[in-house]
């Protein structure tokens, strides 16, 4: 559940440096939280009139960029956890350009009028005894009132969920992606190409009709890049954005498609990083940044993207963000860390983090409702597959050689960072 609140920076909130003093961000979090409760119909005074109190247990802020007088700060409020007597809320603050300026978290408890946390025990879950039963009558009525009070926080969250869903239809998109409702059925079948011959990697590099790239590298904490890795990275269209050469045309096509769907453009907040830059990121924030060598940004294969006014978790609320999530695979991109994939990737949902893998692999990953880890694991070594007008095979070189069809015009060969190579060959007439 999520709502949006806008705060305009006041002059008195700035310091001698002309930027907002850090203490104000915590106050803005409270403003946004009060606004959230009001929007779902549960103002603080209404809760307290019912005998429910919600003290703050903890507050945390991470400052990403400064703000100044008269700037509008968009604050996205999202409930991320509810455990009966404890509520956790996340705040994402962005400026007018969509840049994240602050991220915060607050935790809240629930107390009854006696100052005690509600305890949902067996009585709260079961039926009340009849009035004429032992312990019934006035005692039963009192227990009934307590039961209602104990269950009120849960009822609050359920009502809030319904209200926010009405106000935020993008949750239908999120649910659809989580459940794979937008996936299509794409057939992938095993084939046995005729005339396989042994070809060394050195010989392949000399063939004009064969191209080597890095599109299918698996980069993670379990599969870090080697120390001597050299990314195939150049600047994208004199933009100051650097990305892997294999994805530049595809990103241009995706960006054009996002514009056609009503956005001013698809912008990049984080692109290629050198190993030294990743080391700096990790040293500054080891809780959030990936270990040096384990970030896809070091291969230039990943981009953190946004559209105007919608960055970070808010990206999937925009038309452009939902278009990228649903259709990025058509351009060779996947969401590297989908909402359903944390068990395999080890990373929580990141709707802004797109990764290039090319075709037909993006089609099979998205429509197979899987992750890059799951997909590569499903490609059995030495087995040839066919799908979407391509033949492909994951192989571990033997004596520096791969087994390939004699007819392999247009083949793309990519290492996968597990010791194997994935060879993708378009069928005759395939793009």
Give Dmax (Cα) for the chain: 92
The Cα 271–Cα 278 span in angstroms is 11
DSSP per-residue string spanning 239-302: SS-EEEGGGHHHHHHHHHHHHHTT-S--EEEE----HHHHHHHHHH-TTTSPPTT--GGGGT-E
Q: How far apart are CA 119 and CA 151, in angstroms?
A: 9
Burial of 351 (0-12, 13-18, 19+ CB in 10 A): buried
Residues labelled as active-site residues: 15
CA distance 32 to 3: 9
CB of 295 within 8 A of CB of 303? no
CA distances 290 to 65, 100, 346, 391, Å, are: 20, 19, 11, 34
- DSSP string computed for 141-183: HHHHHHHHHHHHHHHHHHHHHHHHHHH-THHHHHHHHHHTTT-
Q: Report d(CA 355, CA 366) in Å as an integer.
A: 12
Helix (H, G, I), strand (E, B) or coil at 374: helix
**Distance from C-alpha of 79 to C-alpha of 401, rounded to nearest angstrom:** 53
How far apart (Å, rounded) are the C-alpha atoms in residues 114 and 112?
5
* Nearest residue to 356 via CA among 260, 230, 213, 235: 213
């Amino acid at each position: 559940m999520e709502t949006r609140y806008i705060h305009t920076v006041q002059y008195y909130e700035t310091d001698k440096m002309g930027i907002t003093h850090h203490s104000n961000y915590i106050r803005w979090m409270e403003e946004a939280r009060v606004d959230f409760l009001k929007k779902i119909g549960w103002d603080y005074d209404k809760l307290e009139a019912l005998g429910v109190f919600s003290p703050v247990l903890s507050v945390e802020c991470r400052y990403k960029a400064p703000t100044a007088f008269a700037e509008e700060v968009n604050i996205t409020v999202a409930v991320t956890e509810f455990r009966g007597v404890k509520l956790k809320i996340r705040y994402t603050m962005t400026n007018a350009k969509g840049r994240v300026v602050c991220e915060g978290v607050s935790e809240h408890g629930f107390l009854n009028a006696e100052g005690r946390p509600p305890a949902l025990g067996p009585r709260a879950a079961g039926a009340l005894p009849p009035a004429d039963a032992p312990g019934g009558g006035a005692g039963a009525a009192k227990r009934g009132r307590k039961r209602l009070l104990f269950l009120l926080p849960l009822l609050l969250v359920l009502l809030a969920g319904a209200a926010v869903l009405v106000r935020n239809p993008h949750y239908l998109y999120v649910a659809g992606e989580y459940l794979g409702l937008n996936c299509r059925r794409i057939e992938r079948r095993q084939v046995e190409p005729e005339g396989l011959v042994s070809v060394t990697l050195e010989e392949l590099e000399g063939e004009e009709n064969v191209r080597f790239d890095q599109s299918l590298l698996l980069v993670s904490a379990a599969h870090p890049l080697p120390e001597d890795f050299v990314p195939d990275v150049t600047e994208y269209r004199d933009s100051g954005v650097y990305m892997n050469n294999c994805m530049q045309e595809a990103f241009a096509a995706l960006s054009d498609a996002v514009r056609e769907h009503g956005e001013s453009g698809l912008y990049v907040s984080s692109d290629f990083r050198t190993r030294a830059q990743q080391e700096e990121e990790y040293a500054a924030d080891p809780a959030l940044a990936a270990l040096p060598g384990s970030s896809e940004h070091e291969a230039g294969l990943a981009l953190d993207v946004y559209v105007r006014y919608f960055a970070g978790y808010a990206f999937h609320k925009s038309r452009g963000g939902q278009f990228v999530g649903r259709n990025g695979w058509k351009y060779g991109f996947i969401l590297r860390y989908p909402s359903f994939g944390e068990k395999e990737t080890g990373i929580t949902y990141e709707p802004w983090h797109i990764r290039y893998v090319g075709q037909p692999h993006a089609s099979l990953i998205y429509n197979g409702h899987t992750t890059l880890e799951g997909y590569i694991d499903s490609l059995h070594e030495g087995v040839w597959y066919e799908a979407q007008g391509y033949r492909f095979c994951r192989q571990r070189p033997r004596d520096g050689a791969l087994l390939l069809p004699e007819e392999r015009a247009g083949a793309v060969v990519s290492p996968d960072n597990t010791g194997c190579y994935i060879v993708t060959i378009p069928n005759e007439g395939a793009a």
